[in-house]
Amino acid sequence: MQFDSYWLATAPAFHGARQTPPEARYDVVVVGGGFTGLSAARTLARGGARVALLEAGRVIAEASGRNGGQCNTGVAQDYAGLVAQIGRERAMSHYRHYADALASVRRVIAEERIDCDYRHHGKLKLAAKPEHYAKLARSAEAIARDVDSEVELIPRERIREEIDSPHFHGGLLQKNGGQMHMGRFGVGLAEAAVAHGAHVFEHTPMTGVVRQAGGYRLTTPGGALQADDVLLATGASQQGPLGWFRRRLAPVGSFIVVTAPLSEAQCTALLPQRRAYVTSRIVGHYFRLTPDRRLLFGGRARFAMSGGKSDRKSGEVLSRGLAHTFPSLADIGIDYCWGGLVDMSRDRLPHAGRHDGMYYVMGYSGHGVQMSVHMGQCLAEVMLGQRDAYPWQETHWPAIPGHFGKPWFLPLVGGWYRLQDRLH
């Protein structure tokens, strides 16, 4: 078993990185080499800006290369619940932004000719309990009424046409959703940014940033850069002088295992429609088939930070969950196991704005594949003067009460969520 992301282990090499950054001035310095930062750098460079991107490790090495490989429309929350929480108009706007984001991903893939095995097969949310199906039905009604007339309910008597598992009581199908190879997409996006003129520096963490007359001075272990503007696309990063943001995000671990290759017959029997899947429990699972016929199976598993023993223990939990969900795979081998950090915001919505003059966007809360690409582009267009506004634009983002940068509360949150899963 490899304790490494399947997406990163099977990604092509990125050849466009530069060495130590020079003492140079840029129009924009982007901090963070995930999908947000790479999308922003690509857009800025296409628009004629001189742009540098600083990444502490390798590009897409964190959340962008450690997720479940799903690229779906739809908000992180239950849509009907979101309407009740923030009102119908705002909920509709949020949902439509996610749909716009999916279109942005597909447009980038087409424009840059990125070979990433994109498949537009939709997302199926599976009811883990009979009462969950009733809740999905209420959401389906609200979604169809407000934002997506093609949403479809799959009743319990038909659910085995979608998945070879005895544990589900129907599902909600959102057809406007896809999946792709995250490693190939991310490296393709990085190569595209470089091709348009961006300077990408890997293994170059930003160690300090000071606002000064006419812009900013950013320090790295290899030198300093001057910038007129800065875009922070750091997600749940635990490196660098980002304390203000850490108090506003909970870095929740998400963990994944990937099986040994399956036969074509096994794939067709297990998941004949080849969709992206997620279960309805709060501490639930998500899964899909990979391009080389493996089952990718993930979830929260444990409310802990990822890395080392935590990944190993979480992999054991997920392996048991996989065997329970798919009894026919009870003895399947596990080839990959890894974890990553989700930048969870308090309201489970992205947050974008300016802090100390610097642009930022983060807080995707586990639904960032498409939104990160879209938001990187949107903020870059604002910086280029090509648009006046962007989704989730805000001037006030309060810290999580009692959170001072270290997520001491994760075990308590996990216990509470598990209790809710048992009771509801």
What is the overall mean pLDDT for the chain?
91
**How far apart, in whole angstroms, are the C-alpha atoms of residue 411 and residue 414?**
5
Tell me what pLDDT residue 378 has. 96
The pLDDT tens digits for 184-233 are 999 999 999 999 999 999 999 999 999 999 899 999 999 999 999 999 99
CATH of the domain at 266: 3.50.50.60
Instruction: Give the residue-averaged pLDDT of 397-422.
Output: 71
Q: Is residue 419 part of a domain?
A: no
For residue 111, give both structure tokens: 């424009």
The pLDDT tens digits for 278-307 are 999 877 899 999 999 999 999 875 555 556
Q: Is residue 421 part of a domain?
A: no
Q: Is residue 227 part of a domain?
A: yes
CA 331 to chain centre: 30
Q: Is residue 420 part of a domain?
A: no
Instruction: Give the residue-averaged pLDDT of 263-290.
Output: 94
Q: Is residue 423 part of a domain?
A: no
Exposure string over 350-379, b if 16+ CB within 10 A, otherwise e? bbbbbeeebbbbbbbbbbbbbbbbbbbbbb
**How far apart, in whole angstroms, are the C-alpha atoms of residue 51 and residue 275?**
37
Range of the domain at 180: 6-414
Q: Is residue 171 part of a domain?
A: yes
Q: Is residue 424 part of a domain?
A: no
Q: Is residue 422 part of a domain?
A: no
Pairing of strands 152-154, 171-174: antiparallel
The pLDDT tens digits for 136-166 are 999 999 999 999 999 999 999 999 999 999 9
Number of domains in the chain: 1
